[in-house]
């Protein structure tokens, strides 16, 4: 589909990049750092969010962090530069769940399930 005049644009009239979404996993017993288990833009980002919401996974919006993490390969640890921001988000999620665990996204739901 060709871009249209009604397409989402910023104040300077430039086309905005599609929103990014990233899913992380972290097991304090086995992982040195959180790992990226899914990431994408546009329709893939929407699928990531739909799966998260369907499983009751808490979601927090941080466009700058999502942009940074969406450039990282799947199954890679997050970069050191993202530790503080991700730690803050994990603390938020743990508090929202009222525990140190909470609902986790079943990775089988992501296996081959994300398509552009």
- CA atoms of 73 and 84, how far apart (whole Å): 20
Domains in the chain, ordered, with CATH? 20-107 (3.40.1690.10)
Closest CA to 93 of 50, 69, 62, 64: 62
Which pTM value belongs to this model?
0.68
More confident residue, 8 or 56: 56
* Residue 81: band (very low, low, confident or very high) from pLDDT cuts 50, 70, 90: very high
pLDDT one-digit tens code per residue, 34-54: 999 999 999 999 999 999 999
Across the range 45-74, mean pLDDT stands at: 91
> Which pLDDT value is given to residue 96?
77
Strand partners, 40: 21
For 64, the enclosing helix (H) or strand (E) is helix 63-70
Q: What is the pLDDT of residue 46?
A: 94
């Amino acid at each position: 589909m060709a871009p249209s005049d009604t397409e989402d644009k910023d104040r300077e009239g430039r086309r905005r990049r599609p929103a990014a979404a990233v899913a992380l996993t972290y097991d304090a017993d086995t992982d040195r750092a959180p790992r990226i288990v899914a990431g994408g833009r546009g329709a893939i980002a929407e699928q990531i969010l739909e799966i998260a919401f369907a499983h009751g996974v808490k979601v927090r919006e941080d466009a700058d962090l999502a942009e940074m993490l969406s450039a990282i390969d799947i199954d890679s640890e997050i970069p050191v530069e993202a530790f503080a921001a991700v730690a803050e988000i994990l603390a938020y999620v743990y508090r929202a769940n009222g525990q140190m665990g909470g609902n986790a996204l079943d990775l089988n739901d992501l296996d081959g399930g994300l398509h552009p």
